[in-house]
Amino acid sequence: MDYVEAGSFAEITLKENRSDLDSIRFRERVMVDVSNRKLSTTIVGSAVTMPVALGPVGMCGAVWSNGEILACRAAQEFGVPFVLSTNALLSIEDVAQSVERNFWFQLYLQKDRGFSKELIDRAKAAGCPVLVLTMDLHVEGIRYVDAHNGLGAPPKLTPANILSIVSHPSWAIAMLHSKRWTFGNYADRAKPGNVKDMAKLVRSQLDPSFDTKTLQWVRSLWPGRLIVKGILNPDDARMAVDSGADAVLVSNHGGRQLDSAPSTACMLPRIVKAVGGRTEVYVDSGVRSGLDILKFLGLGARACFIGRSYIYGLGAYGQAGVTKALEILREELSIAMALTGVTDATEIPGDLIFRGPREPVEPEQSATRRSNRKQEKD
């Protein structure tokens, strides 16, 4: 569970994702007929029952046996998208053969461009209509908790991990029925059963040379909708749209990459303003309730992608747990809409947010402060 809960370095961004959301206040409205509330909307043109998608989670299948399949089934039955991670335990083909409808695929661009193209082609062959291209894992943030726990696929058998496995017999028994215990999408690129080589391969494929030309190359290969994930800067948002993105996903990787980066609640309004209605803007990182979803909608997002929110349910009860998590989010969102006078999730009043998240220190403000401090010393 530490893998699900932890962030990078000192976990400052992980904490601020929550604290900045918690600092937001709604304006309440009661003199409005809210007996009929519409939560349904669209995400890159796909109809959804509420403004939520199950975002990509690496090693999802380590949380519960064949967790990618179970989460995908729960999402499809509920009417929201499921995004399969490149670094899931189950492969694109494993999931495609086990679910009834199409799912979305998240791509980590590989240093081996031929392998990148192969993953894109496999996603096309599986019928994936949407590609979510993650930009913020070109280098890996330092996650001290994962290193301490010997995280891997499968996990290192440290005394603490053995105790944890023995203490959760239902999980351990279920894992015996997993289709895979390593990263399925890389299966034919490492020796069968050689977990160490597999882990080295995955890390070796991180590509720090990624730029707009690479994004344009991916755009030229992908015929469906393209969402660019990992955007936390207005300039990057504009560049992504200029390079062919159909939408941008504001994200700091759930606080698992650059620690001390601003929260997504802090940066979302600026990015929405930067793209100026040219594309839809989505957001993740920090969502734990239906109220959080409404807060993000009030800040300008079209929809929220969730990770930890559904992974907790998956780890507790498998597919039923994911369904329950989605039901809780839907009920909370519906009630929050009623108490704020909102009747349509696609028509959020501009004054919904009474008090927004904490303001970041802008670069020019920082420069001014440094100049003032210098003058004071002089």
Contact yes or no for 153/181 (Cβ under 8 A): yes
Contact yes or no for 213/104 (Cβ under 8 A): no
Q: What is the token pair recorded at 363?
A: 């670069």
Per-residue pLDDT of the chain (378 residues; tens, 9 = 90+): 555 767 777 899 999 999 999 999 999 999 999 999 999 999 999 999 999 999 999 989 989 999 999 999 999 999 999 999 999 999 999 999 999 999 999 999 999 999 999 999 999 999 999 999 999 988 887 766 665 555 554 555 566 655 666 666 776 777 777 888 789 999 888 765 555 677 678 888 888 888 999 999 999 999 999 999 999 999 999 999 999 999 999 999 998 889 999 999 999 999 999 999 999 999 999 999 999 999 999 999 999 999 999 999 999 999 999 999 999 999 999 999 999 999 999 999 999 999 999 776 666 655 545 555 555 555
Distance CA 47, CA 102 (A): 13
Contact yes or no for 75/104 (Cβ under 8 A): no
Distance CA 261, CA 54 (A): 23
Distance CA 347, CA 87 (A): 36
Q: How far from 171 is each of 84, 165, 175, 177, 255, CA to CA, in Å?
A: 22, 8, 6, 10, 27
For residue 124, count other CB atoms closer than 10 A to its CB: 17
Look at residue 13 in the predicted model and tell me its pLDDT. Answer: 95
Q: Which residues contact 292 (CB under 8 A, 6 or more apart)?
A: 21, 286, 304
Q: Which residues pair with 281 in a beta bridge?
A: 248
Q: What is the token pair recorded at 166?
A: 């023995």
Distance CA 299, CA 351 (A): 10
Q: How many structural domains comprise the chain?
A: 1
DSSP-assigned letter for residue 103 = -
Contact yes or no for 209/112 (Cβ under 8 A): no
DSSP calls for 317-368? HTHHHHHHHHHHHHHHHHHHHHHTT--BTT---TT-EEE-PPPP--HHHHHH
Distance CA 223, CA 271 (A): 26
Task: Note if 148 is an active site residue.
Answer: no
Task: Kindly provide the b/e burial profile for residues 239-265, where b requires at least 16 CB atoms within 10 angstroms of the residue's own CB.
Answer: bbbebbbbbbbbbbbbbbbbbebbbbb
DSSP-assigned letter for residue 82 = B
Look at residue 160 in the predicted model and tell me its pLDDT. Answer: 61
Q: Of 169, 56, 190, which is closest to residue 123 (Cα–Cα)?
A: 56
Look at residue 137 in the predicted model and tell me its pLDDT. Answer: 87
CATH of the domain at 198: 3.20.20.70
Using CB atoms within 10 Å of the CB of residue 76, give its burial: 0 to 12 exposed, 13 to 18 middle, 19+ buried: middle
Q: Containing domain of residue 212, as a range?
A: 2-377
Q: What is the token pair recorded at 94?
A: 């494993």
Write the Ramachandran bin of 53: left for phi over 0, alpha for psi from -120 to 50, otherwise beta: beta
DSSP-assigned letter for residue 277 = T
Look at residue 43 in the predicted model and tell me its pLDDT. Answer: 98
Q: Which of 138, 148, 168, 253 is catalytic?
A: 253
